[in-house]
Amino acid sequence: MASENIRLYIQKYGENQSGVLTVTTPSECLNVFEFQKKWNSWLSNGLKKTFPTGMWVRERQPRSGNWHAHAIVNVGFDIKTGFPFDQVEKRFYANVDPRIRELWKRLRERGADYGFGRIELLPLKASGKACARYLTKYLAKAFGYTKSDGEEKCRLFGVWGGVRAVRSPFSFVNSRIMRKRKEWMAAEFDIADLDGFKRTFGFHWWFHLGSALRDVILPEEFYKVRVNGELAFDDLGFRAYCEDLEKYSGSEADRVIHSRYLFFTKVGELIHGGDSREAYHFATRRIGYPPPAAIVPLNPQLILDLKRRIAEEPF
């Protein structure tokens, strides 16, 4: 969905008036909260005045791990026609439109006030669709890095100026992802068809298990689509995967186990008539954790004998 929003944004304002803004920090910035604070401050207090609308993607630099941002913005005039890309790559700027150079100067000065270093604004080299793919590939890369506690709550994609064109219903858990959830559940319980759910869990199975099923973190392949014969994330699948992970805390593996434990606990409660102890045993078996050793009930006669001895004991 991020890719489609960016593509439609470029289509709306035109490729010649759309620019790619890259923002980095002058020194090491590994902490996402530190970067996000700087970015939000500049965006709220300065950048929106220069560019009333835009969309941004945050990523780590591949080698250093430092955070930086890419944004697509409407510059307000044609910055692409006649732009000397080859000369700019060689750091020769004399033939750049004076309006662009003035804009560069303003961005550098204002960006420095908010703790940023290198700031680059360039026209689109490729088509709007290709640019959208180029920018949103950072979403997958950024999410792949190990995150600090709570970092998963920070967004990787954002919009300002009310220009979001595409919104997916149900928090991006649409019919395709829900079908995949049912496929996963069917495979887990060896169910062949829809009637199999009713036979296994009862006629009202969705009422009891639907909410828990929506929160399960599926294996990655269930979120992917086949591209050129190989499974790969698309925008919808990747966003659904990210949103599922964000419902829990800990490492990625811990989140997966947690989500499935909660789901299988609900299934266990349904199967065992609400017996929480049996539901616990059912869930731990399903996720591969052995249940604790059975507790041997205490002989009531031992309790009576103990009470009698205490009563006979002189004080």
Give a yes or no: residue 292 inside a domain: no
Give a yes or no: residue 297 inside a domain: no
Q: Which of 47-56, 65-74, 167-176 has the highest mean pLDDT?
A: 47-56
pLDDT band for position 172 (50/70/90)? very low
Mean pLDDT score of the chain, rounded to an integer?
A: 80
Do residues 150 and 241 both lie within one domain? Answer: no
Quote the pLDDT of residue 99: 95
CB 174 within 8 A of CB 236: yes
Of 24 and 29, the structure prediction assigns the larger pLDDT to 24
pLDDT band for position 127 (50/70/90)? low
Quote the pLDDT of residue 2: 67
Instruction: Give how many domains the chain has, as a whole number.
Output: 2
CATH number for the domain spanning 21: value is 3.30.70.1910
* Domain termination site, one of 104, 129, 160: 160
Report the greatest alpha carbon distance in the chain: 107
Quick check: 205 pLDDT over 70? yes
Domain span including residue 223 = 171-286
In tens, the pLDDT along 242-265 reads 888 888 888 888 899 999 999 999
Give a yes or no: residue 315 inside a domain: no
Do residues 132 and 181 both lie within one domain? Answer: no
Do residues 66 and 148 both lie within one domain? Answer: yes
Do residues 133 and 196 both lie within one domain? Answer: no
Of 33 and 54, the structure prediction assigns the larger pLDDT to 54
Residues 260-287: what's their mean pLDDT? Answer: 91
Q: Is the pTM of this model over 0.75?
A: no
From CA 314, how far away is CA 244, in angstroms rounded?
Answer: 65
Residues 28-53: what's their mean pLDDT? Answer: 84
Give a yes or no: residue 274 inside a domain: yes
Do residues 151 and 186 both lie within one domain? Answer: no
- Collect all residues with Cβ–Cβ distance below 8 Å to 177 and sequence separation of at least 6: 223, 236, 237, 240
Of 307 and 102, the structure prediction assigns the larger pLDDT to 102
Q: 58, exposed or middle or buried, with CB in 10 Å at 0-12, 13-18, 19+?
A: buried
Do residues 14 and 123 both lie within one domain? Answer: yes
Q: What tokens does 165 get?
A: 């064109």
Do residues 187 and 277 both lie within one domain? Answer: yes
Helix 276-286 vs helix 252-271: angle between axes, to the nearest 10 degrees?
140
pLDDT band for position 194 (50/70/90)? confident
Do residues 7 and 140 both lie within one domain? Answer: yes
Give a yes or no: residue 299 inside a domain: no
Query: Taking the mean position of all CA atoms in its chain, how far away is CA 173?
Result: 13
Give the residue among 238, 236, 241, 191 at the shortest CA–CA distance from 218. 241
pLDDT band for position 94 (50/70/90)? very high
Give the residue among 224, 235, 221 at the shortest CA–CA distance from 156. 235
Do residues 52 and 199 both lie within one domain? Answer: no
Do residues 73 and 129 both lie within one domain? Answer: yes
Do residues 140 and 217 both lie within one domain? Answer: no
Q: Which of 61-70, 227-236, 277-286 has the lowest mean pLDDT?
A: 61-70
In tens, the pLDDT along 211-245 reads 899 999 999 999 998 888 888 888 788 888 888 88
Residues 84-94: what's their mean pLDDT? Answer: 93
Of 309 and 115, the structure prediction assigns the larger pLDDT to 115
CA angle, corner 223, sides to 219 and 227, nearest 5?
A: 120
- Collect all residues with Cβ–Cβ distance below 8 Å to 13 and sequence separation of at least 6: 53, 74
Give a yes or no: residue 298 inside a domain: no
Give a yes or no: residue 294 inside a domain: no
Quote the pLDDT of residue 184: 94
Could you list the beta-strand ranges (E) of 49-188.
Answer: 54-60, 67-74, 119-123, 157-160
Strands 54-60 and 157-160: antiparallel
CB 269 within 8 A of CB 282: no
Do residues 149 and 26 both lie within one domain? Answer: yes
